[in-house]
Structure 1
Amino acid sequence: MNEIIQLLNQYGYIVLFLSLLLELIIVPIPNEALMSYVGVLCYQGKMNIILSILFAGVGGVVGATISYWIGYKLGVPFFRKFGHYFHMGPEKMERMSKWYGKYGKVLLIISYFIPGVRHIASIITGVIKLPFVSFCIFSYIGVFLWVGTFIALGNVFGPQWDQYQGEIKKWVVLFSIVIGFFALIYFIFRTNRNYIKESIVLLHQAAFRRFKSFLKIKFLILVIFILFITFFTLMVGLIQDLISNEFGHLNIIVNTLIFTIFNIHWHWIMYSLFSLSSWKVLGAIALLTIVVIFINRKNKWLELTFFVSTLIGGVLFSKGIRWIFHYMLSKNNISPDFPNSEAALFLMTFAFFFIMMMRHSRNYFYIGAMFFVFIFILAAYFISGIYVHHLKPSDLLAGYVFSAVWVTGMVFTMEMFRLISLIKSDLTKDK
């Protein structure tokens, strides 16, 4: 980086042009830092901000265009065979191709803000043969937004840029993630708009015109929705407490209570209870859940799909949330285990198992008994985690709450799909 800055000080705009051009032809150059430094030079009057954005933008545009035609001409076979030599192996190519095939145009704009993606964005669009005019419009907009943002920020903050660049980069990355998330939601709705419209009409009819139909599942959906809102509110509260560093008293009080009530004689029992979170036990519970789903024989493929999605998505959700907290709040001295991902996975696995055990039962005593067993297991793991491994109560609680938000959201969605299926089936019988 120091060598590039020295060259920039000597040759100015030419080095800026070439740096952007080369990075977008898969040459790893830390151009955010370089462009920010250019912005500082603009602040000091050593470079012109308009010319800097123009040279950087044109360099990026030329590099992106060359990459597009490389991908277009060489095609999929070349990258499948030789891509691993320059970090574009078959798996990465296939994954990126799917993304760009579905969301290419919008993803192309924001991809330049995401390290590791912008280097191959243009090549992927060439490989999947996105129309060149569409590529030019969205890619060139993305390039100029990218270079303009970092050069302008360097110019605004001037010599203080070093002091703020870490925080600014965090917010730029977070903003890109949020935009990408909403873009994904938009395209999901757009791709399935006919099904969504039909479902809304059916749900409206079921809610107002046929109010007395399917009352049990409607009541269940209402209860799950209330639980989702409750846990979501708790999650927001926990995030606020995390930012304000207000968990100290909670952790002290809970630790004092647990180590006062449970002395050394509980050692073996606590280890046994904590072993419920082992991969063997969780794997066995997952298999039992699948068995219960097939024994129930009620929308088994729907339930199985949502069970697998809940586990996989839940792990990604808990890990992703944890990464965001530690990336955004690294200076706040937050616990490295917040939220506890093991507690999140524990709750997800057992929650879905007990939901499947209770879902199709009409015996309310059995349902009540199962519910209290579930609460006991959660409490036992919570206490044993603090007793055995001295985990922070706030981390475990956050793992439970974040996981509960995900599980209730997934179960709510599953029951909505079930209700729509029942309404369609009922309408078919009427005909």
Structure 2
Amino acid sequence: MDLTSWLEHYGYIVIFLSLLLEMLALPIPGEVMMSYTGLLVFEGKLNGTLSIVIASAGVSAGVTLSYWIGYFVGKTLVTKYGHYIHLGDKQLAKLTTWFEKYGNKLLFVVYFIPGVRHFTGYFCGLTHMPFRKYAMYAYPGAIFWVSVFITLGRVLGPKWELYHDTVNHYLIIFGVASVVLTLLVYVYRNHRKRIAGFIMNLLTKGLDYFNSLGKVRSLVLASFAAFVMFVSLMLGLIQDFFAKEFNLFDEITSYIVHVVFGPEWHDPMNYFSKLGSIYFYGPLIVLTAIWVIKKARDQWLELSFLFWVVIGGELLDDGLRMLFHRPGPVVSGFRFLNTFPSEDTLTAITVWGFSAFLLLRHYSKRRLQIPVILTVILICLLVGISRIYFNVQFPSDVAAGYVFGGVWISLNIILLEVLRVLQRSKEIRT
């Protein structure tokens, strides 16, 4: 008998005990159980208000018990076994200081992060956070977490099994984003003057450095303008994705591509698709690295960025496709999975674009800039058109690859130049 069956038979007792045990770090799927509780509320088998009260009591009991276990036993366990995980008295002191500053503020949202919520109570007790302060944030956070998931199951109703995983996925992202935002806010509040001084100093040096770039200024300025443009497009694209407004765009664009490029384009399209493959990327990256070694002053900085942009772009694309989780087109009965954004176009604009930037940055003749930029744009377009032509990606997937890739490459160009400024200023001081 699985957990949902137990829940149907024993109701509120299972809700209370399972959530209490999960807060003690037992492997119990709390979100699934609570949203299923919401489904039972929808079906009239459980009372909604009572379910939230019982679930909140179970979570509160669990986090209270874990706190006191950490409070009374935690220090002994750290002394005996802490060295196995590199946690000694010094590390514990740092952890305690950190929790005093930020820990209590995060208790409200960490429930949404699996693996973190299970041990937060233990750590708060271990660091001897005052229980009153702990309870002030932990208990309201428990009620909020429970209410969200039970309400979620109640709202989804009979479509619970269909949409639960997707909604839960975005709630986890919400939890992580909330924690990151909270940390940034508190870091800014505690170091406001230092951060403001650093930014002003950086802007002053950046302006001086920008004026000294000469012919390269146009490339850097264009990169900044591209970054602003791509970020704007990215925000609009994400909005359209959640609003599911891609159907008409996909239909019209796909129709145009297949009308313009008929069956006779099959072999050229195969060649165009290879422009976005390792057969071209490998030699291009090697040639770019050789060019940097031969021409650049900051060789290691630029080489590091070259490989970071390529590898980081791949990681970014994998993360985005897992995040958006959009099924692709169906070809010959086979459905392509997670095609948003297009890996091919994101990688193409990343590799070809950043290589072109490094080439032009160290080339003295400006008349080559326009032909190189146009060539890169053409190559990236051909890669994207080939994906649409063979029906392996939607046009919106291809467009998203360009946009996210554009954000990635323009951001890294700006970061490269900022780090170059910092490195030069450091060299001057020494």
TM-score, length basis structure 1: 0.73
Q: Which residue of 1 aligns with 2:312?
A: 313
> Is the partner of 1:342 in helix, strand or coil?
helix
> Is the partner of 1:133 in helix, strand or coil?
coil
Q: Which amino acid aligns with 2:271?
A: S
- 1:72 pairs with one of 78, 86, 99: 78
CA contact (8 A) 1:21 1:64 kept: no
Distance 1:362 1:379 in 2: 27
Q: Which amino acid aligns with 1:182?
A: L
CA RMSD between the two structures: 4.5
Answer yes or no: is 1:132 the counterpart of 2:127: yes
Q: Which amino acid aligns with 2:421?
A: L
- 1:371 pairs with one of 350, 370, 373: 373
Q: Which residue of 1 aligns with 2:143?
A: 148
Q: Pairwise mapping of residues 244-255 of structure 1 onto structure 2 (< 5 A)?
A: 244-255=243-254
What does the per-residue CA deviation read over 1:153-179, in whole Å, with 9 as the maximum and x for residues that have no partner? 477689557469748645532321321
CA contact (8 A) 1:44 1:158 kept: no
Q: Pairwise mapping of residues 287-302 of structure 1 onto structure 2 (< 5 A)?
A: 287-302=286-301
Q: Which residue of 1 aligns with 2:89?
A: none
Q: Which residue of 2 aligns with 1:355?
A: 357
Distance 2:36 2:151 in 1: 11
State the shift of 1:220 in Å: 4.1
Distance verdict in 2 for CA 1:367–1:251, change over 3 Å:
same
What does the per-residue CA deviation read over 1:196-221, in whole Å, with 9 as the maximum and x for residues that have no partner? 55642334434778995545565544
Q: Which residue of 2 aligns with 1:383?
A: 385
Q: Which amino acid aligns with 2:343?
A: S
Distance 2:290 2:140 in 1: 52
Distance verdict in 2 for CA 1:185–1:407, change over 3 Å:
farther
Q: Which residue of 1 aligns with 2:64?
A: 61
Distance 2:277 2:296 in 1: 29
Answer yes or no: is 1:408 the counterpart of 2:407: no
State the shift of 1:239 in Å: 2.7
Q: Which runs of 5+ in 1 are unaligned?
A: 81-97, 328-333
CA contact (8 A) 1:64 1:122 kept: yes
CA contact (8 A) 1:26 1:120 kept: yes
CA contact (8 A) 2:310 2:347 kept: yes
State the shift of 1:287 in Å: 3.0
Distance verdict in 2 for CA 1:267–1:338, change over 3 Å:
same
Q: Pairwise mapping of residues 159-238 of structure 1 onto structure 2 (< 5 A)?
A: 160=155, 162=157, 166=164, 169=168, 172-183=171-182, 185=184, 199-206=198-205, 213-214=212-213, 219-238=218-237
Distance 1:260 1:304 in 2: 43
Distance 2:59 2:397 in 1: 45
Q: Which runs of 5+ in 2 are unaligned?
A: 87-93, 327-335
Distance 1:398 1:247 in 2: 11
Distance 2:132 2:338 in 1: 43
Distance 1:99 1:399 in 2: 41
CA contact (8 A) 2:281 2:351 kept: yes
Between the aligned residues of both structures, percent identity stands at: 26
> Is the partner of 1:298 in helix, strand or coil?
coil
Q: Which residue of 2 aligns with 1:90?
A: none
State the shift of 1:148 in Å: 0.8
TM-score, length basis structure 2: 0.74
CA contact (8 A) 1:20 1:63 kept: no
CA contact (8 A) 2:320 2:340 kept: no
> Is the partner of 1:277 in helix, strand or coil?
coil
Q: How many residue pairs were aligned?
A: 400
> Is the partner of 1:222 in helix, strand or coil?
helix
Distance 1:195 1:296 in 2: 37
Q: Pairwise mapping of residues 256-335 of structure 1 onto structure 2 (< 5 A)?
A: 256-326=255-325
Distance 1:134 1:296 in 2: 56
